[in-house]
């Protein structure tokens, strides 16, 4: 019988350390050829009504499955269905809002581990919403961060984020009066917004910075201006085929001949050691994150294993 695991169960059973281990391991498996990922498919079911699916399989973990999420009545609902890849048996149905937050942040942490300078100590976050919290936490796990700054359009929101994350992480987080001020002096810059227009400009970047753009997943949306992409010495994506249809930050420059898709490296090649995530200390590195079902099933497997061991969840 399959387990049904709620958001509360996931919150109890999965933390950032486990999520980062799951994401990194899944990328190692993909680099070795034992894991597969299929880009997201989207269906518009009606006015403001959407259903999306993402599928993956990890032979080393012995699981396969998919994430589905819907938007209806202004509400998103996320689920991962996890199956045994040997028997085909359904192992679990996992409510996946918190899981998605953690695995998205975890991927940015893994990217920072392999792409940011080892001595990185200052982070700038542009965005202060639900996803922004896991982004900062993960980078603090990957590097010895001593200070962070945050900017978002709402002064109240960025101040609340700064206070909350300072207390949670034990790292001073200060609100900035502008995105440019937040970025000044940063080693790692994270954009995690819902903006349809660029929030980070290439002219603000300094030698050695690592940038993660994790907000947009739309061909007509870009959190970065084209100069950020032009300045990057290495551009890494989670999945090249998905990036070609969803990463507006790269699609728009590519359409103008400012970026070549052949120059995009996939994160699993960096984690697997086939490509270096940073050639020189002064390089500017860029990771464009869209999200992969492979990360979802790896995180769900971590949750499932703990749930089965601890007797958590409802049998169906």
Q: What is the pLDDT of residue 46?
A: 92
pLDDT digits (tens, 9 = 90+) for 55-67: 999 999 999 999 9
The predicted model gives 37-41 an average pLDDT of 95
CATH for 32: 3.30.1780.10
State the Cα–Cα distance between residues 274 and 234, nearest whole angstrom. 14
Q: Is 160 exposed, middle or buried (0-12, 13-18, 19+ CB in 10 A)?
A: middle
Q: Are residues 133 and 34 in the same domain?
A: no
Closest CA to 183 of 134, 140, 228: 228
Same domain assignment for residues 161 and 78: no
Whole-angstrom distance, CA of residue 56 vs CA of residue 37: 4
Q: How far apart are alpha carbons 55 and 294 in whole angstroms?
A: 7
Same-domain pairing of 14 and 153? no
Indicate if 96 and 139 belong to the same structural domain. no
- pLDDT value at residue 272: 98
Q: Which is more confidently placed, 78 or 1?
A: 78
Q: Are residues 13 and 34 in the same domain?
A: yes
Whether residue 274 sits in one domain with residue 140? yes
Percent of the chain with pLDDT over 70: 100
Strand order, beta sheet including 173-175: 173-175, 147-151, 122-126, 188-191, 210-213, 285-288, 234-237, 264-266
CATH of the domain at 190: 3.40.50.720
Task: Report yes or no on 105 lying in a domain.
Answer: no
Number of compact structural domains in the chain: 2
Same domain assignment for residues 202 and 72:
no
Q: Do 203 and 217 fall within a single domain?
A: yes
Please give the residue range of the domain that contains residue 52.
3-100+294-315
Q: How large a percentage of the chain has pLDDT more than 90?
A: 99
**63, exposed or middle or buried, with CB in 10 Å at 0-12, 13-18, 19+?**
buried
Q: Please report whether residue 299 resides in a domain.
A: yes
- Looking at the structure, tell me whether residues 19 and 79 fall in a common domain: yes
> Given 67, 141, 288, 301, which residue is catalytic?
67
pLDDT tens, 221-232? 999 999 999 999
Query: So what's the pLDDT on residue 1?
Result: 87
pLDDT value of residue 256: 95
pLDDT tens for 92-144 read 999 999 999 999 999 999 999 999 999 999 999 999 999 999 999 999 999 99
Q: What is the pLDDT of residue 237?
A: 98
pLDDT of residue 262: 95
Distance set, CA 246 to CA 44, 221, 233, 272 (Å): 16, 9, 22, 24
What gap in Å lies between CA 219 and CA 226, rounded to an integer? 14
* Tens digit of each residue's pLDDT (9 = 90 or more) over 154-208: 999 999 999 999 999 999 999 999 999 999 999 999 999 999 999 999 999 999 9
In a domain, 31, yes or no: yes
**E strands, the chain, in order:** 3-5, 35-46, 49-58, 63-72, 75-84, 90-95, 122-126, 147-151, 173-175, 188-191, 210-213, 234-237, 264-266, 285-288, 314-315
Residue 151 and residue 199 in one domain: yes
Q: Look over the chain and give the mean of its residue pLDDT values, rounded to a whole number.
A: 97
- The per-residue DSSP string of 101-136 comes to HHHHHHHHHHHHHHHS-TT--EEEEE--SHHHHHHH
288 is catalytic: no
pLDDT reported for residue 10: 98
Asked whether residue 142 falls in the same domain as residue 71, the answer is no
At 115 the pLDDT is 98
Distance between CA atoms of residues 54 and 68, nearest Å: 7
| Residues 90 and 195 both lie in one domain | no
């Amino acid at each position: 019988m399959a387990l049904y695991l709620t958001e509360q169960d996931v919150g109890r059973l999965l933390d950032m350390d486990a999520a980062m281990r799951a994401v990194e391991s899944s990328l190692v498996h993909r680099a070795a050829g034992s894991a597969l990922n299929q880009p997201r498919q989207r269906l518009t079911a009606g006015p403001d009504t959407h259903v999306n699916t993402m599928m993956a399989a990890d032979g080393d973990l012995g699981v396969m499955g998919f994430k589905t999420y819907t938007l209806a009545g202004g509400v998103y609902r996320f689920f991962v269905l996890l199956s045994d890849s040997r028997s085909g048996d359904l192992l679990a149905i996992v409510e996946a809002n918190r899981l998605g937050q953690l695995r998205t942040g975890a991927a940015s942490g893994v990217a920072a581990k392999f792409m940011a300078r080892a001595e990185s100590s200052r982070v700038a976050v542009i965005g202060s919403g639900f996803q922004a919290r896991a982004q900062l936490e993960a980078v603090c796990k990957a590097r010895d961060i001593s200070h962070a700054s945050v900017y978002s359009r709402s002064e109240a929101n960025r101040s609340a984020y700064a206070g909350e994350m300072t207390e949670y992480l034990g790292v001073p987080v200060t609100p900035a009066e502008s995105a440019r001020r937040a970025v000044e002096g940063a080693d790692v810059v994270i954009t995690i917004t819902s903006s349809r227009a660029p929030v980070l400009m290439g002219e603000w970047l300094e030698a050695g910075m690592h940038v993660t753009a994790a907000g947009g997943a739309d061909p007509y949306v870009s959190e970065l201006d084209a100069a950020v992409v032009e300045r990057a010495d290495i551009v890494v994506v989670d999945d090249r085929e998905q990036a070609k249809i969803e990463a507006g930050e790269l699609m728009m420059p590519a359409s103008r001949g400012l970026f070549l898709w052949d120059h995009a490296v996939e994160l699993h090649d960096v984690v697997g050691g086939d490509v270096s995530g940073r050639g020189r200390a002064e390089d500017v590195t860029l990771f464009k994150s869209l999200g992969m079902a492979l990360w979802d099933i790896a995180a769900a497997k971590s949750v499932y294993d703990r749930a089965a061991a601890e007797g958590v969840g409802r049998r169906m």
